[in-house]
């Protein structure tokens, strides 16, 4: 008998295109095109969260501004107009984990005001990888980032999207 338990699920690199996109197409919010583009390139390196994250990051970073902007616009507002029940399961879990569903009336009003101002200034929602942060810290980051110039904020938002993606991949990763 071998020392390790049998592996029950295929690794990402063993999945066919449809299986891979079904499993990993939601890593980047409502943007399965990232997983679709990665699938033909899959190797054993992509069976680990960090390897897959690097590959997905490269795809997004080389996709061009229109695709990147569409990706940013696919993200929900934090404590925004959408009810938590309307968010993807990942987004809902991430936002509730940060306590964003427990905002005081004052915090909620400030988030809504900042969301409106941010969208007007940048043309996409404020994106913050909330895992490991409390709503007070997120609100402070929001206050600071609202004054960024558009190029800085575009880059910052993409960096946050990549952090979200890595976090989601790490949550899916099974120990080897």
Q: Where are the alpha helices (DSSP H) in 7-103?
A: 17-24, 33-38, 49-61, 65-73, 89-97
Residue 84 contacts residue 92 (beta carbons within 8 Å): yes
| 39, 46, 58, 75: the active-site residue | 75
Q: Is 75 a catalytic residue?
A: yes
* Contact criterion met (CB below 8 Å) for 57 and 21: no
How deeply is 126 buried, as exposed, middle or buried, from its count of CB atoms within 10 A (0-12, 13-18, 19+)? buried
- List phi, psi (to 5°) of 153: -70, -35
Using CA atoms, how far apart are residues 141 and 93, in angstroms rounded to an integer?
20
Strands (E), the chain: none
Residues annotated as catalytic (active site), given as ranges: 75
């Amino acid at each position: 008998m071998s020392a390790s338990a049998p592996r029950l699920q295929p690794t990402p690199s063993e999945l066919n295109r449809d299986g891979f996109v079904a499993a990993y197409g939601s890593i980047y919010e409502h943007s399965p095109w990232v997983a679709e583009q990665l699938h033909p390139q899959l190797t054993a390196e992509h069976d680990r969260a960090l390897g897959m994250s690097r590959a997905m990051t490269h795809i997004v970073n080389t996709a061009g501004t229109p695709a990147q902007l569409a990706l940013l616009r696919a993200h929900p507002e934090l404590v925004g107009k959408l009810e938590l029940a309307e968010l993807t399961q990942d987004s809902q879990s991430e936002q509730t984990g940060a306590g964003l569903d427990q905002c005081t009336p004052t915090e909620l009003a400030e988030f809504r005001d900042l969301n409106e101002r941010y969208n007007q200034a940048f043309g996409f929602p404020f994106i913050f990888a909330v895992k490991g942060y409390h709503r007070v810290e997120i609100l402070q980051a929001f206050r600071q980032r609202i004054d960024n110039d558009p190029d800085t904020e575009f880059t910052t938002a993409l960096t946050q999207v990549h952090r979200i993606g890595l976090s989601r991949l790490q949550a899916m990763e099974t120990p080897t």
